[in-house]
């Protein structure tokens, strides 16, 4: 019974302290950093909910992202991303865009009704209201643009359904990308390029997609994007909006094409954006099959030293097809990362930025 009372009382006390700080003129970022909470720039909890249709799964503590775990981690913000894996050009109607839009709308209505401590939000004002009320704010994201079938106007429908960030690339070919001349000699004719190919570029539709997202004020997620297309996005964006790489790591520490070079990390920082450090072991280390908490800290510290503490965050990818580090299998274990960063000499003020404050900085501008 005492534990239940604490679950009810502690969020209320935290909300009162946050409200006092905001009334005193602090930004949401500054107010939250006074107590180290957690904001996750990318998790894939929507995927099993979309597949199974059972929102009660969120209450079950055996899963990587659960309501008890969200509470225990002191979670302020979750970017909940839906990556749709069941897709092929041969059978594009296996998952329909209409189903995805309906899911986002249903999630936004049903989850806060079932779990009042969660709030689905879409702008800075709603975020502040949720945090003052002691709620965890959920932002919706889509991973991959293959379901849009090359139509940039679908961005409007996604925005209306609550989506505020789109990962423009995932694992599937789509009409927003094209291979460079000569690259498709051994590929079937007219087949779009894989977005993660290092030489794949944006198609005219892809460039129009970016413009539409910027016009709507949606965040652009560069994760899974090949290097040539990455630099095209940077050039087209021209500093108009902060660029996000929600779940990547430093290629200098783990040499894989999914990670970013120093130059790419610096380009994101110049846009005012964020790099979310991923918990997928193959993106953290080549030394062992499974990473440790120390490997995550290595990437955070490296990126912090390279581009500054204002541009580093966490993008766990829990509930995705990842092999998490030992000790970071579930959201409630995030204090292990905070402890490791302290052990490595990082000050609490900087840890607060990495673990949540930097995400809030981006979101407050909405």
Q: What is the pLDDT of residue 53?
A: 86
What's the pLDDT score for residue 3?
37
Residue 4, both tokens: 């239940």
Q: Which residues contact 31 (CB under 8 A, 6 or more apart)?
A: 18, 21, 22
Please tell me what DSSP assigns to residue 365: T
**Residue 181: per-residue pLDDT:** 66
Report the alpha-carbon distance of residue 85 to residue 316 in Å, rounded: 18
Pairing of strands 274-277, 312-314: parallel
Residue 8's SS3 state is: helix
Q: What is the pLDDT of residue 196?
A: 72
Integer angstrom CA distances of residue 319 from 43, 97, 151, 222, 280 = 7, 22, 29, 20, 11
Is 0.85 surpassed by the pTM of this model?
A: yes
| Model pLDDT, residue 96 | 86
Q: Which pLDDT score is estimated for 179?
A: 76
Q: What is the pLDDT of residue 23?
A: 42
* Residues lower than pLDDT 70 in the chain: 1-35, 85-93, 181-194
Structure tokens at 54: 């059972």
Q: Please name the residue that has the structure tokens 């981690």.
A: 73
CATH number for the domain running over 37-183+190-364? 3.20.20.140
Q: Please give the distance of CA 102 from its chain centroid, rounded to a whole number.
A: 21
CA distance linking residue 331 with residue 7, whole number of Å: 17
CB distance 290 to 325 below 8 Å: yes
pLDDT tens-digit readout, 239-278: 999 999 999 999 999 999 999 999 999 999 999 999 999 9
Q: Answer for the pair 144, 85: CB distance below 8 angstroms, yes or no.
A: no
Helix or strand holding residue 248 (H, E) = strand 243-248
Q: Is 69 helix (H, G, I), strand (E, B) or coil?
A: helix
Helix axes 293-307, 335-343, angle to 10 degrees: 60
Residue bearing tokens 């005012």: 272
Residue ranges of alpha helices (H) inside 271-309 are 293-307
Which pLDDT score, from 0 to 100, does residue 345 have?
A: 98
DSSP codes, 122-157? -SHHHHHHHHHTTPEEEEEEEE-SGGGTT-TTHHHH
Exposure class string for 132-168: b at 16+ Cβ within 10 A, else e? bbbbbbbbbbbbbbbbbebbbebbebbbebbbbbbbb
């Amino acid at each position: 019974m005492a534990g239940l009372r604490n679950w009810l009382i502690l969020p209320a006390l935290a909300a009162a302290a946050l409200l006092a700080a905001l009334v005193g003129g602090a930004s949401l970022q500054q107010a939250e950093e006074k107590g180290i909470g957690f904001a996750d720039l990318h998790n894939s909890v929507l995927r099993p909910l979309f597949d199974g249709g059972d929102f009660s799964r969120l209450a079950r503590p055996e899963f990587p992202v659960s309501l008890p775990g969200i509470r225990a981690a002191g979670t302020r913000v979750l970017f909940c991303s839906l990556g749709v894996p069941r897709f092929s050009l041969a059978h594009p109607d296996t998952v329909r865009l209409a189903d995805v839009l309906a899911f986002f709308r249903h999630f936004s209505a049903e989850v806060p009704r079932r779990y009042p401590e969660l709030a689905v939000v879409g702008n800075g004002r709603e975020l502040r209201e949720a945090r003052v009320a002691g709620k965890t704010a959920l932002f919706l994201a889509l991973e991959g643009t293959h379901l849009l079938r090359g139509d940039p106007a679908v961005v409007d429908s996604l925005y209306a359904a609550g989506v505020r960030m789109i990962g423009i690339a995932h694992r599937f070919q789509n009409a927003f990308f094209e291979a460079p001349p000569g690259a498709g000699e051994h590929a079937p004719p007219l087949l779009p390029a894989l977005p993660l190919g290092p030489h794949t570029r944006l198609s005219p539709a892809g460039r129009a997609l970016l413009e539409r997202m910027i016009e709507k004020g949606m965040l652009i997620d560069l994760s899974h994007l090949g290097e040539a297309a990455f630099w095209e996005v940077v050039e087209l964006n021209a500093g108009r909006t902060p660029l996000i790489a929600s779940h990547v790591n430093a290629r200098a520490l783990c040499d894989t094409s999914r990670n970013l070079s120093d130059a790419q990390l610096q380009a994101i920082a110049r846009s005012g954006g964020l790099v979310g450090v991923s918990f997928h072991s193959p993106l953290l280390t080549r030394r062992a099959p499974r990473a440790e908490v120390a490997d995550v800290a290595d990437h955070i510290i490296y990126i912090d030293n390279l581009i500054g503490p204002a541009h580093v965050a966490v993008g766990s990818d829990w509930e995705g097809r990842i092999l998490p580090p030992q000790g970071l299998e579930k959201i409630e274990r995030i204090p292990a990362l905070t402890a490791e960063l302290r052990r490595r000499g990082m000050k609490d003020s900087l840890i607060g930025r990495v673990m949540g404050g930097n995400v809030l900085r981006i979101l407050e501008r909405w």
